[in-house]
Amino acid sequence: MKNIIGYRTFYRYLEYIFDAEEHDYLGGLLGGMSLLADGSTADPAYELDWDKAVFESDNQNDSYQIGIYFLRDWLAISYIEEIGQILLDMESNKRLELWQKAVHDIQMNYNDPNFRLM
């Protein structure tokens, strides 16, 4: 997987949103994105989708921008309003405090590197 630190940060960001709002579809997305002990995603398609988003991004180290591409691609397959709202919030730089918290958590290794299955 390309930019695994960015992936972990994006996952943690979505996890914070889920913890606050408990949207069903977001829980499903997180479940598929969860990393297994071998480093693969619970749903292999998410690793491919993330790598595609990294490739599409102008800056392959900007995990926030990569997350936007990831959600755009995900929503192009099947539009889910609650996920669409997260994308809109990211595009307009809302909830940046949650993003900064996620970045801090990853830098300090506060989260489980394998995530928890939802």
Other Cβ atoms closer than 10 A to 64: 18
Q: What is the band of 21 on the pLDDT scale with cuts at 50, 70, 90?
A: confident
**41-54, pLDDT tens digit by residue?**
999 999 999 999 99
**83-97, pLDDT tens digit by residue?**
999 999 999 999 999
In angstroms, the CA 49 to CA 26 distance is 16
Q: Which of the pair, 107 or 22, is modelled with greater confidence? A: 107
Over 60: is that where the pLDDT of 14 sits? yes
pTM, full prediction: 0.90
- Say if residue 15 is exposed, middle or buried (CB neighbours under 10 Å; 0-12, 13-18, 19+): buried
**In the chain, where are the structural domains located?**
4-107
